[in-house]
Amino acid sequence: MTQPGNKQLTIRKRINDTAANLTRRGFLASSAAACALNVFPTGSFASIRDLSSTDPKTDAEGNMIRPFHVNFPQADLIDLRRHVAATRWLNRETVSGPLQGVQLATMQKLANYWAKEYDWRKVEARLNALPQFITAIDGIDIHFIHVRSKHPNALPVVITHGWPGSIIEQLKVIAPLADPTAYGGKTEDAFDVVVPSLPGHGFSGKPDTTGWDPVRIASMWIVLMKRLGYTRFVAQGGDWGNAVTEQMALLSSSELIGIHTNLPATVPADIAKALQFGEPAPRGLSVEERGAWDQLDFFYKHGLGYAQEMAARPQTLYALEDSPVGLAAWMLDHDARSERLIARVFDGEAEGLTRDDILENVTLYWLTKTAVSSARLYWESKLPFFAPKGVPIPVAVSVFPDEIYAAPKSWTENAYPKLIYYNRLQKGGHFAAWQQPELFATELREAFRTLR
């Protein structure tokens, strides 16, 4: 494989080495602002929150925003290793390659590293170096990271993860977005960065009623940004993050001035119908369109199993809450290209992700016991995932080649009447911010430049 150049290595080192300094500055700025405030001790995560002596404070409307600290008991980490070591292994797949699913060799390498070498405390320290908060919206606790840039006139952006992602996906891009001058950008490229955890995911609360779909979450994110004092902001998302972000745009909030997506919803109705019923590709497709068709055709035939089960019977997935290796395998099998990349990582190849990256994300799901609560988002949503929604505000699209499908420019222009930016990248996949943080940060700078 091609190794990254010296410039890329330097940028990646800066992302890891300077994030703490940036986030401490952001924390002080956030704390000095009107909303920043105390630890929230209620709910199922009380035992992992480091309770602060700071008195509760509220914003002008009486809404509390409380600092949050991650500290899982050591007993939980010991129990995790015990579960991994006690895995009942399957017999080896009967075909070569991943045709039947995630291969036994990959999972055994993952489990061996997880049980013997992986250190959760490292990512816990990285999270705690960031200003994290909890606030209640629509009756549920929402966890979020909030980093204010040191640069004046920074553009606020709320970035939403998907499944099987989490806030772990965005950790590498927070510093480049908030402090662009340290990462090849300009002062005027700066963002104030807000990264919330979806309901039922990570450190956010778990809904105990129905109705928590992307439309409802979108309205919550608008409330969150207003509560933080922002009267003008943009939004970004891929996967479920795109669904939420597009719904934010459809709510016609005057504060939201534009969105960016790395998994746009652009598939025309005739294409969607043909895919759904297993029909041949329509005639007259361009080279780009045919490439997108082939990717989608493969996904519809071979990649939808997890989504269909979670959309139909999420409560059946008890095994994901009982076996960490079972949970990891389920998450790795999200899409074929990501699975192949992750398999190569555990074979010792570095391709934008590390073994720690992958296990940080899976371990977060395990420790927060959110495997099933996160899966219910598939059951809740009734939106046609890839269909255009008629977004009425400016839209920017970055197309990564190893995404579930690489949206053609023709489909994208038809789906988004106010398309302000479109770019096809040479590398990167479904977890773009996680895999290619430098490219992702550059894309956001370019995408929103005309809206500043």
Structure token digits, residue 76 = 């939980």
Structure token digits, residue 206 = 């778990």
CA distance 423 to 121: 37
CA distance 40 to 52: 9
Peptide bond into 282 cis (omega under 30): no
Crossing angle of helices 74-85 and 355-368, in 10° steps, is: 110
Structure token digits, residue 297 = 């055709």
- Position of tokens 């970004």? 236
Is 147 in contact with 29 (CB distance < 8 Å)? Answer: no
The number of angstroms, rounded, from the C-alpha of 259 to the middle of its chain's C-alpha atoms is 15
Structure token digits, residue 298 = 């493969």
For 211, residues 6+ apart whose C-beta sits below 8 A from its C-beta are 380
Which residue out of 118, 183, 378, 405 is catalytically annotated? 378
Peptide bond into 164 cis (omega under 30): yes
Is 135 in contact with 195 (CB distance < 8 Å)? Answer: no
Is 210 in contact with 380 (CB distance < 8 Å)? Answer: yes
Structure token digits, residue 379 = 């059951």
Closest CA to 448 of 270, 250, 234: 234
Which residue out of 189, 239, 335, 357 is catalytically annotated? 239
Closest CA to 100 of 294, 336, 267, 320: 336
Q: Is 161 a catalytic residue?
A: no
Which residue out of 83, 260, 334, 430 is catalytically annotated? 430
CA distance 261 to 243: 9
Closest CA to 341 of 432, 429, 437: 429
- Position of tokens 């652009």? 266
Q: Is 430 a catalytic residue?
A: yes
Catalytic positions are: 239, 378, 430
